[in-house]
Amino acid sequence: MDEKLVADIRERYQRVLERIEAAAQRAGRDPRSVRLVVVTKAQPLEVVRAALKAGVRILGENYAEEAVEKINSLKDEFVVEWHMIGHVQSRKAALVAAHFDLLHSLDSLKLARRLDAFCAQAGRVLPAMLEFNVGGEESKFGFPAWDEKAWPSLLPEVEAILQLSHLRLRGLMTMPPLFDQPEQSRPYFQRLRRLQEFLAQRFPQADWSELSMGTSLDYETAIQEGATFVRIGTAIVGSRPSH
Ligand SMILES: *Cc1c(COP(=O)(O)O)cnc(C)c1O
């Protein structure tokens, strides 16, 4: 084990936790209402293990197969909450249903139905957030939500997902367009929060409490706008190795 790597990650992790706490306090929020998901996609097992040794307990991964290898390698050593934050292809639904504690990126009714069927077989309920594309970029996944006037057209699919008994909706997630100034993300975070209010009005019986938004570049802005999960990779575990 590379002790320097553990020490470096621990220091960056602590610094980010402090900044999260300060951002929550500035926004008049309870710092415990914001949870930090450390994103280890594309990072080798050694980096993931170092993050766990540094005290990290919630990990976010984007690729089901890569994540399941890590989960299996680490499950005897550490207790970890594994979050799937990337687009899930239909044929990977079984892996996600079997191995993850929370899905941030539920982006279609078709995927929801497949996950529900696998969870039913496994006798479990998977908590999930709906991913919305609030910026309108074609490259982004998520239910289309950049045009607020078109929000009512999202309702039938949301209603169908709410009826699936082995998925439990917990809130909303987004990945806004990439900017270099955190302030530029703010309108997108605000839009996701307005959408949360819209959905909560239409489906008051459901739980819309979680807002997963904000990455290394803009998490303090996201916290100001109501994020309950921030997803941070590079600021804690360093840049991703290129493939
Ligand atoms: C990679 C990724 C992150 C983390 O991005 P960083 O810039 O490394 O903090 C967050 N959310 C999603 C969906 C990602 O794919």
Q: What is the pLDDT of residue 1?
A: 64
Distance of CA 21 to the CA centre of its chain: 19
Residues in the chain: 243
- In whole angstroms, give the CA distance from residue 243 to residue 241: 6
103 close to ligand 1 (CB < 6 Angstrom): no
In a domain, 208, yes or no: yes
Residue 186 sits at the vertex; the CA angle it makes with 128 and 14, to the nearest 5 degrees, is: 70
In a domain, 243, yes or no: no
User: Which atom of ligand 1 is closest in space to residue 240's alpha carbon?
Assistant: 8
234 close to ligand 1 (CB < 6 Angstrom): yes
Distance of CA 84 to the CA centre of its chain: 7
Tell me the CATH number at 142.
3.20.20.10
- In whole angstroms, give the CA distance from residue 135 to residue 8: 34
User: Which atom of ligand 1 is closest in space to residue 39's alpha carbon?
Assistant: 4
Q: 128 with 106: CB under 8 angstroms?
A: yes
Q: What is the pLDDT of residue 155?
A: 98
Q: Is 155 helix (H, G, I), strand (E, B) or coil?
A: helix
215 close to ligand 1 (CB < 6 Angstrom): yes
In a domain, 197, yes or no: yes
Structure tokens at 192: 């996701």
In a domain, 242, yes or no: no
- In whole angstroms, give the CA distance from residue 209 to residue 155: 18
Structure tokens at 144: 């289309």
88 close to ligand 1 (CB < 6 Angstrom): no
**Measured CA distances, 222 to 8, 45, 109, 124, 199 (Å):** 25, 29, 27, 31, 19
**Measured CA distances, 168 to 108, 184, 206 (Å):** 15, 32, 9
**Among 34, 28, 14, which Cα is nearest to 231's?**
34
CA of 189 to the centre of ligand 1 (A): 15
CA of 114 to the centre of ligand 1 (A): 25
**Measured CA distances, 20 to 13, 156, 230, 238 (Å):** 11, 36, 9, 18
Q: What is the pLDDT of residue 99?
A: 97
Q: Could you give the number of structural domains in the chain?
A: 1
For ligand 1, mutation pick of 47, 131, 231 (most atoms within 8 Å of CB)? 231
Which residues form the domain of 182?
3-237
Cβ neighbours around 182 below 10 Å, total: 18
pTM of the model: 0.97
In a domain, 201, yes or no: yes
CA of 36 to the centre of ligand 1 (A): 12
User: Which atom of ligand 1 is closest in space to residue 85's alpha carbon?
Assistant: 13
Q: What is the pLDDT of residue 243?
A: 59
In the chain, which stretches have pLDDT less than 50?
none
